[in-house]
Structure 1
Amino acid sequence: MDFTDTTALITGASGGIGAGIARALAARGADVVLVARSADRLDALAAEIRRAHGRDVLVVATDLSTPGAGERVQAALGDRRVDVLVNNAGFGLSGRLADTPDLTRLTAMVTLNCTTLADLTARFLPGMIERRRGAVVNVASMAGYFPAPGLAAYAATKAFVVSLSQAVWAETRGTGVRVAALSPTVTDTGFFDVAGEASGAGMRRRSVEQVVATFFTTLDADRPVVVDGRLNEVGARLARLAPRGAVLRAVGSRFADRVSAR
């Protein structure tokens, strides 16, 4: 896909995978819209991108886990079109669901990971279809392929992202628009500062650079789902084929007894 003089909107762009994708898209000739809560971090990234690549950068500092976030983002863009939408923003909560200490955080997670993602997709996809050009990449997770005791609600939100992306991929066939879910596994970002470090303990982590490379593979592959890393792709396939009871036993032994509610 040629990104020259396109506009890419990236949520969760203040760090980690989102910032990495924003840098890479700007390096390939795209103007970027950076969306996240932290204005200071977004401003710093915007200055870096302008200096390194000379691209136009719009910063939209807003909390995507609150109602009306999609409308606020669209209003901030004015008459700018969006050619590439990267729904990367998300966070997780670890621990048994019954032990959740702050239900407002649970609601915020579902809103951010599911509601805002679907809202932004529905807002910007029609313009892409009309122009017969564009792409939507929804960042899911390996956790979206199986129920995960100890990460139950988070995994369920990512299953939503996988299912939605697959269906919209089918709905947009022949329109010139590419839609896909990118599913990373444990990545070296600040995710576990929020979810709880124990939820990623003992797991080999992928680098942001590896996930960014898979992001571009996702766009070129024109498949509804792309998993980051070949071994992880095998694991996702096995998780889909294996009996649910076996998956729950395997995953439960890996997560449930060692995570604590945060």
Structure 2
Amino acid sequence: MSEKVKFLMTFRARLMLLLTAFLLLTIVLVLALDNWARKRAEEIISAENKRVTESVNSGYDDFAEAMSLAQQSLDSDDYLYQVLGPEKMPLTVESITITERDGKVSDSTVPEIVEKYLPVPEVEEFQVKAVDPITGEAEDHEHLPKTYYNPITTTKGLHWIIIVTTQKALINEIHTSSQRLASNNRELSNYRLWATSGLLLLALVIAVFIGWRFTRPIKDLAGAARRVAAGDLDFRVGINRTDEVGQLASTFNEMISGLKSKRELEEKLNQAERSAVIGRLTQAVAHEIRNPLNVINLS
């Protein structure tokens, strides 16, 4: 067996390899957990960004749809409020109004203002203002209404297409998206907490197993030493290993065999000594018994 193989079979090498493998496994699991959480967070953020982007794009689409409806109304005898109900209005459009050059309302989705006058720009060019011409309300930070003035020249003369938009739907979508992000972040944090707790519990179980696995033979040797100290030599330590612990167990068994042989030899010597003493005592007794008989015979 080569020196490298012998070293790998040693107790310290096996312990070092086991601890290294356990450490690497823990690192891999932690990195995998972190990678999963990062990808999951990226997926959630991407999905929410997509929703918000779709809401923003829908605002542009709604404006284009409102312009198309207004232009169609210029060539129609029907009023906008007759064609469009609340359920048919584009989501981000509050109202669509068509006025003449002087601001007289010729058509609108708000029937109350038809034939009335609204303020229109003096310069005949596309403009955006932060005031609702119907209600007179200025822009606030919550609803952000914007009014678009688009001059259109037809055979009937100059008309203003006034479109009032609101960002309520977009703001609501952003608010809802923020709530979903916060909820998902809490959920991911809980997942990571539980997963980390599970890894720590697994590490504890593995550490206990490693401790039990490597201390059990030492405990067996300690128990064997107590039995030897109590005088019990009729057993062998049952540790079949090739590392230092196995070598120690083998040496311990050899020591037990040596002690047992020594004790048996001592018992034989003691038995021989006792037999010799008894023999000498028997001879002395016999000698003492013969001496009085000789005196009687001489008499």
Q: How does the TM-score come out when normalised to structure 2? A: 0.22
Give 1 or 2 for the bigger CA radius of gyration: 2
Structure having greater relative contact order (Cα 8 Å, sep ≥ 6): 1
Q: How does the TM-score come out when normalised to structure 1? A: 0.24
Q: Which structure features the higher share of helix residues?
A: 2
